[in-house]
Amino acid sequence: MSKENSQNIIARIKAIVEEKFKSEGSGHDWFHIARVMRTAEAIGEVEGADMTLVRLGALLHDIADHKFHNHSLEEGSKQARALILEVGGDIILANEVAAIVAQVSYKGAGVATPTDSLAAAVVQDADRLDAIGAIGIARAFAYGGSKNRLLYDPAIKPQMHSNFKDYATDQGHTINHFHEKLLLLKDRMLTGEGSRLAEERHMFMEIFLNQFLEEWEG
């Protein structure tokens, strides 16, 4: 594929995704996608990934959130494949991007989420970096609030989910989400640059949680 052609495809996908997410207030906003795209570009450059795949994967990674599709993980890659074809990409590119989209999601503490391309590893790391650190903390409580969840309840302990369905349907409070997902992400980064970027964000969450519990206990 020529450089102009791939730039054209990226521009058209970006326009479609921006339009869709700007008019959707359902937890994922365009700013999340834009941050993941920027982080994925930074990691992808360092790691030497295929940047067309990185950009398209980042733009399309949340195109159909499982939370709004009966926890189906296939819907996103299906829609990603269709959109790439719609804007003039070939079936090889469409399948490569669809594979990335299928491989990004976190599925529970006890569920492995392997990738089969460097671009997919880069996008998975970038998405997870946006779930940790200061922004990750803000997103977790925003999400918890949207579901009417408690901030914290010391009686309800975290669970290390061993399958995706249990993870996706868990109703626990938001502090548990740190133990069930956010604090685990640092050690599950797939790229060297992703691990490096995770360190500071991880430390910030630990400081936050210590302070939170100190204030809670009074």
Q: Which residues contact 169 (CB under 8 A, 6 or more apart)?
A: 71
Residue 143 interface partner, choices Ni ion, ligand ADP, none, CB cut-off 5-8 Å depending on type: ligand ADP
Segment contacting ligand ADP by CB under 6 A, of 46-54, 77-85, 134-142, 209-217:
134-142
Residue 140 interface partner, choices Ni ion, ligand ADP, none, CB cut-off 5-8 Å depending on type: ligand ADP
CB distance 179 to 154 below 8 Å: no
| Residue 133 touches ligand ADP, criterion: CB under 6 A | no
The span from the CA of 54 to the CA of 122, in Å, is: 7
The span from the CA of 93 to the CA of 100, in Å, is: 11
Q: Is 45 helix (H, G, I), strand (E, B) or coil?
A: helix
Q: Which of 144, 193, 197, 205 binds ligand ADP (CB under 6 A)?
A: 144
Residues contributing to the site for Ni ion (CB under 5 A): 62, 127
Stretch 55-84 residues interacting with ligand ADP (CB under 6 A) = 62, 65
Q: Which of 40, 64, 129, 131 binds ligand ADP (CB under 6 A)?
A: 131
With 0-12 CB in 10 A as exposed, 13-18 as middle and 19+ as buried, what is 184? middle
The span from the CA of 47 to the CA of 64, in Å, is: 27
The span from the CA of 117 to the CA of 173, in Å, is: 35
- Shortest separation between residue 90's beta carbon and ligand ADP, angstroms: 27
Q: Could you list the residues that contact ligand ADP (CB under 6 A)?
A: 27-28, 62, 65, 105, 127, 130-131, 136, 139-140, 143-144, 174, 177, 181
